[in-house]
């Protein structure tokens, strides 16, 4: 018997359980690969604006404004744990983001769903790696405050798949490509080679994830007959989203689909 993919996605999104959500995301991808779901076009006759916005938040961590998240030095054990917790929170949020990319936007090519279900499973694996390592340090996910800015951008782009691909994977998640090398350097400086190993795994996968955002953003731009690089900068301004911070990880961004000319314009904040 085949199952309804979108029902399963909604259940995973709604789960507030930090043990269950990663497991549900992984199982959905496994079942997708095993062809256990009905054809997506058979159950997809719903517009994005009619799809409920579902985001099951766990009881912890406490969600605060980004400026209220305390900054601690990784030179101390608590500071190192806080830094890794911040990365783990991003990976946990990214599970819901990938699930929602698939859940929200109907009538898309089959490969669109395959890509984002795979990303959701990757993010679940990343979260598991980081949470497991946090536990070896005597901490757990939820022990430090966190912010919800990634999901807020998902809310803002909930009605338009082109904007979602631009603002979430291609902008917000691409910022993670830039942030990882400095974090890696700090951890290497204090001799935390296991944390560095985990970050290297995540960075390699995240280049692929941003590349998928680039792929689908450009696909929808072709469909709308708009220039992708111009449209991208227009959307940053329209959604009041943060421009990429300098220095950008240009090598990773090129691997993910950014051109040299686009990187130059982004660095200069040219609308």
Q: Please, what are the averages of pLDDT over each run of 10 residues along the chain (271 residues)?
A: 89 97 98 91 66 89 76 85 95 97 94 98 98 97 92 95 98 96 95 97 98 98 96 96 95 98 94 80
Q: CA–CA distance from 201 to each of 100, 130, 141, 241 (Å)? A: 24, 11, 19, 27
Same structural domain for residues 246 and 145? no
What's the pLDDT at 39?
79
Statement to judge: residues 192 and 146 lie in one domain: no
Both 79 and 122 in one domain: the answer is: yes
Regarding whether 253 and 136 lie in a shared domain, the answer is no
- Cα(164)–Cα(149) distance, integer angstroms: 14
Task: Indicate whether 179 and 256 sit together in one domain.
Answer: yes
pLDDT at residue 66, rounded to an integer = 64
**Predicted pLDDT at 205:** 98
102 and 224 co-located in one domain: no
Question: What's the number of domains the chain is made of?
Answer: 2
What pLDDT shows up at residue 213? 98
Nearest in space to 15 (alpha carbons), one of 5, 25, 28: 25
- What range does the domain containing 115 cover? 1-154
3-state secondary structure of 146: strand
- Kindly state whether residues 177 and 126 are assigned to the same domain: no
The pTM for the full model equals 0.95
């Amino acid at each position: 018997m085949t199952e309804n993919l979108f029902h399963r996605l909604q259940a995973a999104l709604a789960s507030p359980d930090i043990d269950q959500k990663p497991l549900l995301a992984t199982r959905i991808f496994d079942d997708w690969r095993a062809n256990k779901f009905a054809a997506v076009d058979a159950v997809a006759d719903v517009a994005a604006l009619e799809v409920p916005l579902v985001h099951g938040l766990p009881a912890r961590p406490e969600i605060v404004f980004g400026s209220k998240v305390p900054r601690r030095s990784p030179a101390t054990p608590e500071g190192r744990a806080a830094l890794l917790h911040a990365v783990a929170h991003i990976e946990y949020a990214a599970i819901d983001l990938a699930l929602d990319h698939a859940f929200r936007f109907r009538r898309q090519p089959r490969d669109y769903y395959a890509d984002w279900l795979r990303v959701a499973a990757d993010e679940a694996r990343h979260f598991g790696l980081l949470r497991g390592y946090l536990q070896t340090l005597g901490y757990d996910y939820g022990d430090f405050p966190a912010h919800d800015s990634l999901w807020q951008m998902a809310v803002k782009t909930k009605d338009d798949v082109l904007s979602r691909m631009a603002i979430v994977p291609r902008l917000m998640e691409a910022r993670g490509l830039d942030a990882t090398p400095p974090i890696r350097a700090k951890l290497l400086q204090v001799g935390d080679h296991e944390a560095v190993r985990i970050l290297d795994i995540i960075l390699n996968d995240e280049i692929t994830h941003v590349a998928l955002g680039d792929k689908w953003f450009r696909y929808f731009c072709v469909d709308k007959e708009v220039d992708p690089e111009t449209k991208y900068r227009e959307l940053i301004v329209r959604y009041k989203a943060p421009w990429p911070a300098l220095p950008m990880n240009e090598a990773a961004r090129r691997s993910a689909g950014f051109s040299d000319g686009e990187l130059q314009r982004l660095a200069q904040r040219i609308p």
